[in-house]
Structure 1
């Protein structure tokens, strides 16, 4: 039986600042061997893989967040989100669609809204779509822009945020964290700790 972890990315980001983005079974196996990791963002898998991955993750008491727009076999609708919450017991979902996040919240999932900072106007417009009643955390991408945009946008950021995208060195991780991000999500295993 799969049971949901009681950990939250909102709580543990102060303990483990890098959050692995897991994109394949090899990365997933590596994550299981690192005891300091308490949460993962799962991207690019299918329903069949997801079930077995979650079983192993829950045995390790990992919090699992899925990129709902990138999971084959589960649609980002009411039935799909209910299945993720009630049958697979994921901790939360990531999406850039407010409607999907609202649905996820109705099933008790933690929600992370992805925000793309392509330019200042686009960022401001994206932040206007954030509804704090349905969103727990923001994921600002690409992470490398964080040191440049946060000082001028601190008043506009309505929630705590993590950053992801285009991170390739430990120095970049540190710069993003120094700029105010609660955590940095990275897909490169060498940056997970």
Structure 2
């Protein structure tokens, strides 16, 4: 099954993604029903151990390579994650990193911070290239923008950032997002 199909099926079954930013969050995420985890912290000395804990708990693990201390924003970071961890994929704001990771057989998430119309246009252009398995748009608290993107995006869209309660989740999903990512532990089991 192609990554995109696998991701779409996973998000349909379990649309809430635990975005883990510290050890406390990791411990909470281990015991949630969230099937996918975005690992947003760590360093080159402990990332393999962090991924292993999550994998042993049956989670799909996506490592945000831009946020792992000691890794540079270069293709070798993807190679390091692929060779030295059991991660299922990577997240990055850098298209070249996402493209390389996909070529290496990893699942990929291209992350966009939509702060203005220029960022929106760049997102649209990127989507047309089809280089990621899914995109994550931040912040999630903008249903009108989520709808615009999902209307032309043929890959799964994750809405992240500023998710605080069930209403935020439902609004993002009703606007077309296939999943939501949040560092807010209180929403992981909704």
- Give the superposition deviation at 1:120: 3.3
Q: 1:155 to 1:180 in 2, by over 3 A?
A: closer
Whether contact under 8 Å (1:64, 1:90) holds in the other structure is: yes
Distance 2:186 2:7 in 1: 21
Q: What's the CA shift string for 1:110-133, capped at 9, x where partnerless? A: 111112222334302222123544
Q: 2:93 aligns with which of 92, 96, 105?
A: 96
Normalising by structure 1, report the TM-score. Answer: 0.87
Q: CA RMSD in A?
A: 1.9
Instruction: Give the drift of 1:37.
Output: 1.9
Corresponding position of 1:184: 180
1:78 aligns with 2:85: no
Partner of 1:168: 164
Instruction: State whether residues 93 and 111 of structure 1, in contact with CA within 8 Å, keep that contact through their aligned partners in structure 2.
Output: yes
Q: Which has the higher helix share?
A: 2
**Which residues of structure 2 form unaligned runs of 5+?**
1-5
Q: Is the 8 A contact 2:140 2:163 kept in 1?
A: yes
5 Å-filtered alignment, 1:1-193, equals 8-34=6-32, 36-130=33-127, 132-145=129-142, 147-193=143-189
Gaps of 5+ in 1: 1-7
Report the Cα offset of residue 168 of structure 1: 1.4
Check conservation: 1:132, 1:159, Cα contact below 8 A.
no
Distance 2:171 2:115 in 1: 19
Q: TM-score, normalised by structure 2?
A: 0.88
CA change 1:107–1:123 in 2 (3 A) is same
